[in-house]
Structure 1
């Protein structure tokens, strides 16, 4: 059997290996002369475009950092003033916590509340709550900060063993 014929005797067409195989010699030479230049030009364009993009993003990041540095002291001052003007700030910590617990109606979730020493002269309040939804716990913590000027010095949050959708919290509160 001949290599250029099919079994039926018809001549077989040879498949083109590359798209330029059928081009005239001058066109092929021009393609091979211009292809590396075109590839280099495309790569250079992509590199320059990415470099400009990175430069503008870096500038935006630096501007955001500068704005954050200007705003941060103001935010801290606002939070401090808000905590000082709380309606329960004049009460002792245990009475303020009881008032917040009553306002949120979470008395049934309170397990224990007792005073403890935090340092030499600092007195803190240990509070343990169980079976609280996360949004109620967040409201409780916000009220402690905003209304009673209390800070959470230590906090242990765990998932409630009876209902995994609820949380248990052990808090150490102080001014």
Structure 2
């Protein structure tokens, strides 16, 4: 654990200040969109593989397993995000490919339940407020989206965190 993360919360309030450390937030918005595209492709491939597995399970269970098709994509996306974003790397594979990492407002890495809430809040807010969810990042000093602000998370450059 670095010295920055070992200090009390009150001393860390400026740890992710975009004026003091602009390298943490440079190009985050663009790379985050590309990371999302990579993750959508990964979830689609995993959903296809799970769909094939459920097809064969349905044959053996006389069609009972085929009821899982109703929520297969959502379940795969939720599990994918909970265990990758909430894992030790604090990033989905798409985020890692783009050099991004998520942290809580005080520097801790997200945990699986928070990661699951993050993706659920993203999809609910995106369904209700489509343009506004993305427009919030244009006015946010840390380039955060609406669900990031609500949950107190930050997406930053991974290299800037290690410097």
Q: TM-score, normalised by structure 2?
A: 0.24
Richer in strand (by share): 1
More helix by share: 2
Larger RCO (alpha carbons 8 Å, 6+ apart): 2
